[in-house]
């Protein structure tokens, strides 16, 4: 892999070029994936940059804004090296009313100004609605994003959702530049309708969940337990989730021969999973999370490996058919 560089793709109608492998910063917040060390996050971001990664994705609710703050600190003096995507919508979400706090365009714009302050920048490359179902504020959010785009505060806007109807409503006027969606070997349902729609509408696709929240690393088993502050603890506490988890583990075992084969270019199971998402023509970039340099190194390495062969994809199809797999969980 020496002297190889990460490939880039254009993020839909935004025209923004991003690396196929990005960095997801959900875990960097330190509140839902177990404890993190700020310096390790800074080091991982530095490693990503030095490896050619350009795309970094965060959100206002990750660590109550701490993830954005860390990214903002990392960008100082070198903002031009970062393509920054962040999200808004869940912060101060009113569960009883079933809507975000952004009930006027002015409130939405003020909310994005808070994103900008935490990121210590005067523009965001991609702002995304974080609400993953249709709520009464959707039209307000779209209008606010469009005004911010006209004012130069954001370069493009999109949505993070797995709800096809919501995506179509959000893109009603054709302005949505990107979709962030959960898609993996274990969750191939978007292939049936959402991904073809994105190709038709020139909507860039940002893949989250490519490692199925860690399951596709192959490091988990029935005895695995998660620590305090890790939302995955619920997998062992909810019978329905436990059943899905066990089924996923069985599929992972069926995938192992694909990485144990001598001709598999020394891929790890996680790298196979990342390469699988990039094999779909609708996908622009994949954003696996990383809490340290080691994890970021493994993610970058996936982008430097040869693409999956037709035979490897056919073998995956035999385990989880195209368009098949489980529904995502937790929601």
Catalytic annotation, residues: 62
Rounded CA separation 307/136 (Å): 42
Handedness of CA 18, 20, 22, 24 (dihedral sign): positive
266: nearest Cα among 302, 233, 217, 240: 302
Q: How far apart are CA 151 and CA 146, in angstroms?
A: 9
Which helix (DSSP H) or strand (DSSP E) does residue 10 occupy?
strand 8-10
Which CA distances in Å does 155 have to 44, 83, 142, 146, 172? 26, 10, 14, 10, 19
| Axis-axis angle for helices 310-319, 239-255 (nearest 10) | 150
Integer angstrom CA distances of residue 183 from 50, 125, 212, 306 = 27, 23, 8, 21
Q: Is 225 in contact with 236 (CB distance < 8 Å)? A: yes
φ, ψ for residue 193, nearest 5 deg = -140, -45
Residue 130: which of 54, 59, 187, 78 has the closest Cα? 59
Q: How many degrees, rounded to 5, is the angle at CA 259 between CA 258 and CA 263?
A: 85
Q: How far is CA 182 from CA 56, 65, 196, 236, in A?
A: 17, 22, 15, 21
Dist CA 293 CA 121 (whole Å): 25
Q: Is the peptide bond before 330 cis (omega within 30 degrees of 0)?
A: yes
Burial of 84 (0-12, 13-18, 19+ CB in 10 A): buried
3-state secondary structure of 242: helix
């Amino acid at each position: 892999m020496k002297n190889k560089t990460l490939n880039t793709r254009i993020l839909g109608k935004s025209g923004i070029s991003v690396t196929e492998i990005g960095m997801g910063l959900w875990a960097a917040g330190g509140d839902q994936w177990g404890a993190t060390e700020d310096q390790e996050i800074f080091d991982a971001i530095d490693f990503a940059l030095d490896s050619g990664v350009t795309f970094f994705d965060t959100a206002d609710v990750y660590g109550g804004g701490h993830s954005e703050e860390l990214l903002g600190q990392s960008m100082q003096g070198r903002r031009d090296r970062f393509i920054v995507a962040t999200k808004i919508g869940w912060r101060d979400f009113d569960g009883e009313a079933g809507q975000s706090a952004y009930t006027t365009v002015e409130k939405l714009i003020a909310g994005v100004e808070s994103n900008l302050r935490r990121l210590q920048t005067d523009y965001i490359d991609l702002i995304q609605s974080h609400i993953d179902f249709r709520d009464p504020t959707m039209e307000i959010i779209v209008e606010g994003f469009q005004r911010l785009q006209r004012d130069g505060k954001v370069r493009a806007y999109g949505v993070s959702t797995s709800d096809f109807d919501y995506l179509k409503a959000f893109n009603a006027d054709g302005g949505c530049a990107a979709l962030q969606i959960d898609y993996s070997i274990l969750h191939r349902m978007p292939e049936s309708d959402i991904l073809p729609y994105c190709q038709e509408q020139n909507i860039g696709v940002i893949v989250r969940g490519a490692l199925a929240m860690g399951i596709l690393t192959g490091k988990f088993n029935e005895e695995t337990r998660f620590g305090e502050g890790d939302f995955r603890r619920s997998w062992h506490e909810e019978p329905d989730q436990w059943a899905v988890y066990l089924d996923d583990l069985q599929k992972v075992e069926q995938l192992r021969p694909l990485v144990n084969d001598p001709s598999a270019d020394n891929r790890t199971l996680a790298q196979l999973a990342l390469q699988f998402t990039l094999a779909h023509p609708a996908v622009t970039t994949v954003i696996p999370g990383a809490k340290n340099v080691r994890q970021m190194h493994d993610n970058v390495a996936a982008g430097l490996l040869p693409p999956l062969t037709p035979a490897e994809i056919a073998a995956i199809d035999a385990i989880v058919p195209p368009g098949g797999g489980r529904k995502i969980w937790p929601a």
